C-alpha cells in the first residue's frame, strides 16, 4: 500500500521509520506541573531523575509531581489542616518543605492516608499516591539523604480486582464511525480512534506519535512506551486508510504546515500537539453521538483491542508484546474476559462435554445460580 503524502515536518517522511533519536541532555521535567511558591528542590531533583535516568513519559512525571505537590501541601498544613494534628505539632512554623520531607515519620504518612480517605479517594488512587511516595523516599535513600524509608511499615490498601471494561464489535464500529472524515478535524479524530483500537496503544503513547514513527506502506507504528521502551506494532487497513485521509487534508492546512510541532502526528486546530485530556474530550463527544456509555475511556479501546485479539485466537504472549506489558501476569487479566468463549468452544467441540452432564450456562443461556444449585 502506498503511503499518503503528509505535511512537511522535521525528520523523515511517513513511510520510513528512523532509528530513535538520542535522549535529551536537559529537561524541564516538571514544566507541565503547577508549582507552588515553595516547590521542593528535592522533588524537582526526583522528577528530573525520572525523566533523564528512568526515561519516564511526561504524562507519568506529571502524575508523580502532582502527587508530591499534594503531599507537600499536606505537610505545610495547606490541606487537611483539621486532621493532621501530629504534622502541625511536629513541624515548626517556617521550616522549609525539604526539611519537613526529610523528617517525615510513619505517623505522618498514616495521617495523610486518613486525609485521602476522608476526601473519598478510591483505593486504587490511594495506592498510586503511596507508590509515588515510596519511589520518592527510595530515591532520597539512594542519594544518601535518608537511612530509613518512612513508608517501610505502611501497607498499601488492598484493591478490588475489577475486570477491564470493554466494547463489543458493534459498539466499536459505532464509535469509529462517529467522527466521519469530511474535514480536517473530523478526519484527525477518526484516525486517532482507529489507531487506538487498531494498535492497542495507550493514549499517552498516541499523543507522542511523530510522523517518522509511521510506516503506512508496511502498516506498522513505532510506539514509544513506558521507560523509553520502543516497540513496533502493526495497524490494520482501516487505520491506514484513516491516517491517509487525515494526512491528505492536513497537508493543505497552513497552521499544521507552519507549526513548530509539525513532526507530531496529532495536532489541534492551532497547530499544537493534542494532550491526553483533549483526546478524552473528543472521545466523550463521539460517545454521545454514538449513543454509548459516557463512562468509557480511551483505555477502554486498549482493553477491547486485547480482548478481541484473544477472542479470535491470538496467543497471550503476542498480545503481551503488542500491549507493551513487561509482565505476562498483567496481560492475563484479559483471559478472564474470554472464559465464556472458551467454555462455549469446549462444549461445542468435545465429544463428552455434555454427555450425561448438565451443560454450562455459557453454552445454554441458563442462569449461573441455577446451574450451581444443580451441580
Q: Is 252 a residue of the active site?
A: no
Half-sphere exposure of 71 (CA within 13 A, CB side): 28
Is residue 213 pLDDT above 70, yes or no?
yes
Task: Centre a 10 Å sphere on the Cβ of residue 188 and count the other Cβ atoms it contains.
Answer: 28
DSSP symbol at 154: P
pLDDT in the model for residue 188: 96
Residue 49 known to be catalytic: no
What was the pLDDT predicted at 340? 60
pLDDT at 196 over 90: yes
pLDDT in tens, 301-314: 888 888 888 888 78
| Domains in the chain: boundaries | 41-142, 169-295, 336-374
Q: Which of 250, 303, 334, 360 is catalytic?
A: 334
For 47-83, write each residue's pLDDT tens digit: 999 989 888 878 889 999 999 999 998 988 888 765 4
Q: Is 55 a catalytic residue?
A: no
The catalytic position among 325, 341, 343, 366 is: 325
Provide the mean pLDDT of the chain.
79
Active site residue 226: yes
Burial 305-332 (b: 16+ CB within 10 A, else e): bbbbbbbeeeeeeebbebbbbeeeeebe
Check pLDDT > 50 for residue 360. no
* Residue 299: active-site member: yes
Assess contact for 265 and 163: CB atoms under 8 A.
Answer: no
| Mean pLDDT for the stretch of residues 173-196 | 94
Q: Which one of 302, 303, 308, 360 is the catalytic residue? A: 302
**293 — pLDDT class (breaks 50, 70, 90):** confident
Of 299, 341, 343, 366, the catalytic one is 299
For 90-104, 259-273, 327-341, which range has the lowest pLDDT when averaged over its residues?
327-341
Phi and psi dihedrals of 267, rounded to 5? -115, 155
pLDDT digits (tens, 9 = 90+) for 260-279: 899 999 999 999 999 999 99
Q: Which of 134, 138, 226, 343 is catalytic?
A: 226
Does 143 participate in catalysis according to the annotation? no
pLDDT in the model for residue 3: 44
| Residue in 62, 100, 202, 264 annotated catalytic | 202
- 245-248 own/partner pairs: CB under 8 Å, 24+ apart: 245/4, 245/181, 245/187, 245/190, 245/191, 246/181, 246/184, 246/187, 246/188, 246/190, 246/191, 247/4, 247/5, 247/6, 247/7, 247/14, 248/4, 248/5, 248/187
- What is the torsional sign of CA 293, 299, 303, 309? positive
Question: What's the pTM?
Answer: 0.58
Task: Could you please state the CATH topology (level 3) that the domain comprising 169-295 is classified under.
Answer: hpI Integrase; Chain A (1.10.443)
Distance separating alpha carbons of residues 280 and 301, to the nearest angstrom: 12
Which range has the worst mean pLDDT, 188-197, 241-250, 361-370?
361-370
Amino acid at each position: 500500500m502506498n503511503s499518503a503524502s503528509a505535511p512537511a515536518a522535521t525528520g523523515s517522511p511517513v513511510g520510513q521509520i528512523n532509528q530513535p533519536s538520542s535522549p535529551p541532555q536537559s529537561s524541564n521535567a516538571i514544566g507541565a506541573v503547577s508549582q507552588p511558591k515553595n516547590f521542593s528542590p528535592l522533588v524537582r531533583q526526583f522528577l528530573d531523575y525520572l525523566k533523564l535516568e528512568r526515561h519516564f513519559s511526561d504524562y507519568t512525571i506529571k502524575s508523580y509531581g502532582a502527587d508530591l505537590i499534594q503531599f507537600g501541601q499536606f505537610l505545610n498544613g495547606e490541606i487537611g489542616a483539621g486532621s493532621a494534628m501530629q504534622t502541625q505539632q511536629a513541624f515548626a512554623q517556617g521550616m522549609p518543605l525539604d526539611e519537613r520531607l526529610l523528617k517525615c515519620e510513619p505517623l505522618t504518612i498514616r495521617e495523610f492516608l486518613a486525609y485521602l480517605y476522608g476526601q473519598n479517594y478510591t483505593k486504587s488512587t490511594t495506592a498510586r499516591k503511596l507508590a509515588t511516595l515510596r519511589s520518592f523516599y527510595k530515591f532520597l535513600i539512594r542519594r544518601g539523604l535518608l537511612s530509613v524509608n518512612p513508608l517501610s511499615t505502611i501497607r498499601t490498601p488492598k484493591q478490588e480486582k475489577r475486570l477491564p471494561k470493554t466494547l463489543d464489535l458493534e459498539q466499536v464500529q459505532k464509535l469509529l464511525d462517529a467522527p466521519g472524515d469530511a474535514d480536517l478535524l473530523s478526519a484527525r479524530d477518526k484516525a486517532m480512534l482507529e489507531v487506538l483500537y487498531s494498535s492497542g496503544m495507550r493514549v499517552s503513547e498516541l499523543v507522542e506519535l511523530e510522523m517518522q514513527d509511521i510506516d503506512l506502506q508496511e502498516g506498522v507504528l513505532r510506539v514509544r512506551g513506558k521507560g523509553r521502551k520502543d516497540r513496533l506494532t502493526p495497524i490494520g487497513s482501516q487505520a491506514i486508510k484513516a491516517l491517509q485521509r487525515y494526512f491528505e487534508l492536513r497537508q493543505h492546512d497552513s497552521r499544521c504546515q507552519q507549526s513548530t510541532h509539525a513532526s507530531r502526528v496529532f495536532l489541534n486546530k492551532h497547530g499544537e500537539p493534542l494532550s491526553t485530556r483533549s483526546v478524552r474530550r473528543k472521545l466523550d463527544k463521539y460517545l454521545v453521538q454514538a449513543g454509548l456509555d459516557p463512562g468509557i475511556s480511551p483505555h477502554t479501546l486498549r482493553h477491547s483491542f486485547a480482548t478481541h485479539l484473544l477472542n479470535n485466537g491470538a496467543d497471550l504472549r503476542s498480545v503481551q508484546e503488542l500491549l507493551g506489558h513487561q509482565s505476562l501476569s498483567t496481560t492475563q487479566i484479559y483471559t478472564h474476559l474470554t472464559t465464556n468463549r472458551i467454555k462455549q468452544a469446549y462444549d461445542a467441540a468435545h465429544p463428552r462435554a455434555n454427555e450425561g452432564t448438565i451443560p454450562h450456562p455459557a453454552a445454554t443461556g441458563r442462569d449461573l445460580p441455577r446451574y450451581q444449585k444443580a451441580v
